Structure 1
Amino acid sequence: MVSDFRKKKLQHVFTTFFDTNKSGNIDKKDFELAIDNIAKLRKFTSGDAKYNEVKTTLLKIWDGLQSRADADKDGEVSFDEWVSMWDDYAKNPTAALDWQKDYCKFIFQLEDASNDGSIDSEEFSSVYASFGLNKSDAVAAFQKMSKGKSSVSFAEFQELWKEYFTSEDASAPGNFIFGKTSF
């Protein structure tokens, strides 16, 4: 059974980053809106190489998510289906599904605007502000996530990612990887 604390974290990711059209479920339309939002953030234009890369990656993530989490095969992922899938992940995070690994890598690369292999506070907070979160809260979340360091590498981010989806400790640094400081 998933605790209320973990459900709140899962709700944050579900609502803020996946259910972009606010329908209450995740579907392919949400991913199409996310592609547009990311293109706007990074100033990609439809058809250029970076736009196509984002589109291909996000649609691959959607296919993986839908095939794993859409238990009733209705073309949408409900919040209950989402929680169930991440609960399975929490039981064995070393056996992450390919789409989960792809999503982790995608988020890191999205945040690493300078493409230097690490994310800093400005890169991190700019992404979360583009998703409607308060930028100063995202800066504070970065400080907690990074444990006061100026940057976070991909290897560190992967560990923080696992912690986000598995930890019951409200002060665990991984709880802050999605730009929020409290649940």
Structure 2
Amino acid sequence: MALSEFLKKKTSLAFNKYDISNDGVLTVSDFEEIAQKVAQKLGVDSGSPEHDKITAAYRAIWDGYFKPADVDGNNKVVLEEYIKACERFIESPNAIEIGMDLNKMLYDAIDLDGSGSIDEKEFSVFLTTIGSSEANAKIAFSHIDTDKNGLISREEFAQNLYDYHTSEDTQSPANWFYGSM
């Protein structure tokens, strides 16, 4: 099953957000650079346990989300490979279970203080590191915080990210996951 144009647009936006080098190719180094920028924004020293947590989490994002799209084994993922991987994923019978588990892994990377919830600052660090403005991050947070309690729970986060990649609903709050389209 091919992705609709709407889902391709969202998938492309997500891909491009992680392409820190802006070369049209995702590699583990993009995720290492994101981790470095997150740590820097938070004032976390290299070699500290917090820095190691951030680095490990972003490495896990590469390993869990993007490396499986590398069908030719060259340790690089181009947009076409990622779109095909998303198509295969959506067709799999246990997509929601796998997706929710993977999304919780990204959640753990963003829950920088390990509090069990993501606040607006943490979400802003995540989005601004991958190219969104502070204002856009604030608007995105307000959409993703579906229960409007000022925090994003693991379940809220996982469901919104899953819906971002699978929902055809043009009015879904999940469409704001990576900022405005």
Which TM-score tier does this pair reach, normalised by the shorter chain?
0.7 to 0.9
Q: 1:32 to 1:129 in 2, by over 3 A?
A: closer
Equivalent residue, structure 1, for 2:15: 14
Equivalent residue, structure 1, for 2:46: 46
| CA shift for structure 1 position 21 | 1.0
The answer on 1:140 being equivalent to 2:142 is: no
Counterpart-to-counterpart distance in 2, 1:144 and 1:40 = 27
| CA shift for structure 1 position 66 | 5.6
Q: 1:45 to 1:158 in 2, by over 3 A?
A: same
TM-score by length of 1: 0.83
Q: 1:134 to 1:76 in 2, by over 3 A?
A: same
Q: Bigger CA drift: 22-31 or 51-60? A: 51-60
The answer on 1:71 being equivalent to 2:71 is: yes
The structure 1 segments of at least 4 consecutive aligned residues displaced by more than 6 Å after TM superposition are: none
Q: 1:153 to 1:61 in 2, by over 3 A?
A: closer
Q: 1:154 to 1:122 in 2, by over 3 A?
A: same
Q: 1:31 to 1:145 in 2, by over 3 A?
A: closer
Counterpart-to-counterpart distance in 2, 1:147 and 1:44 = 30
Which amino acid letter does the alignment assign opposite residue 107 of structure 1?
L
Q: 1:114 to 1:60 in 2, by over 3 A?
A: closer
Q: Bigger CA drift: 162-171 or 151-160? A: 151-160
Q: Residues 15-34 of structure 1 correspond to what in structure 2 (within 5 A)?
A: 15-17=16-18, 19-34=19-34
| CA shift for structure 1 position 108 | 2.1
In structure 1, stretches of 5+ residues that fail to align are: none
Equivalent residue, structure 2, for 1:159: 159
Task: Compute the RMSD of aligned alpha carbons.
Answer: 2.3
Equivalent residue, structure 1, for 2:168: 168
Counterpart-to-counterpart distance in 2, 1:175 and 1:73 = 31
Aligned partner of residue 85 in structure 1, secondary structure: helix
Counterpart-to-counterpart distance in 2, 1:127 and 1:62 = 15
Count residues in correspondence.
Answer: 177
| CA shift for structure 1 position 106 | 4.2
Equivalent residue, structure 2, for 1:96: 98
- CA offset digits 1:108-149 (Å, max 9, x no partner): 234434533222334323432233312112212222222360
Counterpart-to-counterpart distance in 1, 2:141 and 2:66 = 30
| CA shift for structure 1 position 58 | 2.6
Aligned partner of residue 81 in structure 2, secondary structure: helix
Aligned partner of residue 174 in structure 1, secondary structure: helix
Q: Residues 92-131 of structure 1 correspond to what in structure 2 (within 5 A)?
A: 92=92, 93-96=95-98, 101-102=101-102, 104-131=103-130
Q: 1:54 to 1:152 in 2, by over 3 A?
A: closer
- CA offset digits 1:1-30 (Å, max 9, x no partner): 11111111111111112x111111111221
Q: 1:120 to 1:64 in 2, by over 3 A?
A: closer
